[in-house]
Amino acid sequence: MTAPTLVWFRQDLRLSDQAALAAAASEGPIVALYVLDDDGPGDWRIGGAQRWWLHHSLTALAKSLGRHRIPLILRRGEAVTAVTAVAKESGATRVHALRHIEPWWQAAEEALAGTLDLVLHPGQQLADPGEIRTGAGGRYRIFTPFWRALAATLPPPKPQPAPKHLHGHGEIRSDRLEDWDLLPTKPDWAKGFDVWTPGEDGAAEAMEDFADRVSAYDHDRNMPSIDGSSRLSPHLHFGEISPAAVWHAAHDAAPHSADPFLREVGWRDFTANLVDQYPKIGRQNGRDAYDRLPWRTGAAADRDFHAWTEGRTGYPIVDAGMRQLWATGWMHNRVRMIAASFLTKHLLLDWRRGERWFWETLVDADYGNNSVNWQWVAGTGIDSNPFGRIMAPLTQSPKFDAADYIRLWVPELRDLPDTTIHDPHGAGCAPKAYPAPLIGHREGRERALAAAAKIKT
C-alpha cells in the first residue's frame, strides 16, 4: 500500500491554486490536516473574531474535501507535536505545506524540517518575500520602490484549479470541530457577522462581486458610506482565495483601472516582506527613537482607551468605525486610519494597545498588515507617516461624505442633517445620549506634538 502524503493546512484553507495540495495529490493518497495551535503563536493566538471565521471556514473546507471522500483531520495542540503525531499514525513521511512568514510558523517549519520531509511551496503572497530584491541584492524597507520591483515581476502565474483526482487514506483520529468552542455562546456578540460567508465559495462570490466594482475602487474605497472596498481581506487572510487569483480576476475585470486596487494587494506583500526581515514588528517600534515617546498610562488613559473601544469618543466618524468593528468584525479602511490616528495622536495611547484590540475584534487580523498598518499611522514604523501628521476626524468626515455611515452606526445621531452630523458638539446640537469629546482636536494635537518633541531633545 502506497504511503500517504500529509497536507498541512494553516492560513491557506482552499483547494484551488493550492500548490501544497496539488503536489501531494500527484504523489498518491493524502491526509489533510489542520492544527489549532494556541501555544506556538503566544500573544498572537487567533482572536475571538478570527475564531468565529475559522469555525465556518474549516466547515467549508471539510465539505469540499468530503466531496472527494477525504476527511479533514483536526488536532488541537502545539503544531510540531500534532503534525509529527499524525504523520506517524498515518505512515506519512512527507509533508507538503504553503510557506508562511509569521515568526511562529517559521519556527514550526524549521523544527518539522528536522524530523520530517517537509516541502514548502509559495502561494501566500504574489511573490515570496525573499525574491523581491534591490539591485544590490538587499531587501526593501520602503513601499514605493518595493512595489516597483514587485510590479516588474507581475503578472503572477495563472491560478490553477483544484486537483480533479484526490484520494484519501484510511481512518485517522480527528477532533470534533464543535468541541473547539470557536463560536461565541452568551452573549452572542457575533450575531452581526452574518454579513460574511467564510470559505472558498464565499471568497469566490466576494471576488465576483468586487470585479463589477473594481474600476471605481480608487474613488469609492475612501467613502465610508459607499460599498467601495473589496471586502476580500478576511478571505485572503485565511487563504480561501490566493493573491494570484485576486490579481488576475481584478486585472481581467478592469485592465486599465485596476492598478489602485492591485497596489493594495502589493501592500500586503510589502508587510510580509517586513515581517520576514523584522519578525518582532508586532511589538517593537520600527524606529528606535519612539521607544522614548511618553505614551499616556494610568486610570485616565485606561478610561479613554475603553471609551475608544466602545465607540464613545464624541467624534462621530471614530465612533461609527469602532461600533462597526464590534458589530461586524471589520472596519472601513479609511476609518481604520482615522480611528488609529485618534488613539495614538489625540489620546496619546500606545499603538500596541490598538493593535491588540484589532487583533481580537477583526476577522481579517493579519500579523503583517495589522502590525505594519498600526505603526504606519502611529509614525513609529520603518515606513510610516511622520508622527506629526495627525488626521483631523472633524475634517475627514465631511471630506469623505461619511454622514450616512455615521447614521448607520451611531443611531443617536441619525436625525441630524449632513451639515451638523460630523461635529454635533461644535454645532451645539448633540443629543444628550451622545458623549462629549474625550479631548478637543487642537488640544489633542498640541499634546501629541509636545510628546514627540521630547524624543528629539
94 close to 5: Cβ distance less than 8 angstroms: yes
Q: Is the four-CA dihedral 213, 217, 220, 221 of positive or negative sign?
A: positive
Count of residues making up the chain: 457
368 close to 271: Cβ distance less than 8 angstroms: yes
User: Is 374 tagged catalytic?
Assistant: yes
DSSP string, 132-189: -B-TTS-B--SHHHHHHHHHTTPSPPPPPPPPS-----S------GGGG--S--SS-T
Read off the DSSP letter of residue 346: I
Provide DSSP, 241-259: S-HHHHHHHHHHH-TTT-H
Find the catalytic residue in 44, 180, 189, 295. Answer: 295
Using CA atoms, how far apart are residues 404 and 416, in angstroms rounded to an integer?
10
Q: Which member of 326, 374, 376, 409 is catalytic?
A: 374
H helices, E strands: number in the chain: 19, 5
Q: How many CB atoms lie under 10 A from the CB of residue 356?
A: 16
**Taking Cα atoms as reference points, which of 231, 228, 264 lies closest to residue 364?**
231
Residues facing residue 74 across a β-bridge: 34
Give residue for cell 481512518.
171
Residue 178 CB neighbours (<10 A): 10
Q: Residue 69: exposed, middle, or buried by beta-carbon count in 10 A (0-12, 13-18, 19+)?
A: exposed
Strands (E), 166-322: none
Selected catalytic residue, list 333, 360, 385, 412: 333
376 is catalytic: no
Q: Rg for the chain (alpha carbons), in Å? A: 23
C-alpha distance from residue 354 to each of 160, 238, 336 (Å) = 38, 22, 11
Q: Three-state DSSP class for 235? A: helix
* Alpha carbon distance 229, 221 (integer Å): 5
Which listed residue (104, 147, 351, 409) is catalytic? 351
Identify which of 52, 88, 90, 100 has the alpha carbon closest to the alpha carbon of residue 327. Answer: 52
At 354, list the grid cell.
490598538
- The catalytic residue among 264, 360, 385, 412 is 264
Q: Is 147 one of the annotated active-site residues of the chain?
A: no
Among candidate residues 8, 105, 147, 267, the one labeled active-site is: 267
Backbone angles phi, psi at 412, to 5 degrees: -60, -20
Residues assigned a catalytic role: 264, 267, 295, 333, 351, 374
